[in-house]
Amino acid sequence: MKAVQIFYEGRVQGVGFRYSVRQIAKGFNVMGWVRNLADGRVELQASGETEEVSAFLEGIRQSDLGSLIKKESENALATPPASRGFEIRI
């Protein structure tokens, strides 16, 4: 199992980023959430089998969202995010 926290920077708010990430997540066996932060970044937490999480994150990079992301910071999480499925948080 792999659990990660990702911070995305760039033009990632006001462009449907969170909704697109949720749609991409439907194609993978991952759980977690995504939310906007007050400083203009987007935070994502996801967990699942290592290969699924890696493929999900690569799916985000390869989608139309990839051109909006200027910086991506990844941190390993000791415990998986508490969520049912993959959701948008406010």
Question: Hey, which residues are catalytic here?
Answer: 18, 36
Instruction: Write phi, then psi, for 79 (nearest 5 degrees).
Output: -125, 145
CA 19 – CA 55 distance, rounded (Å) = 18
Strand intervals (E) in the chain: 2-10, 30-36, 42-48, 69-76, 86-89
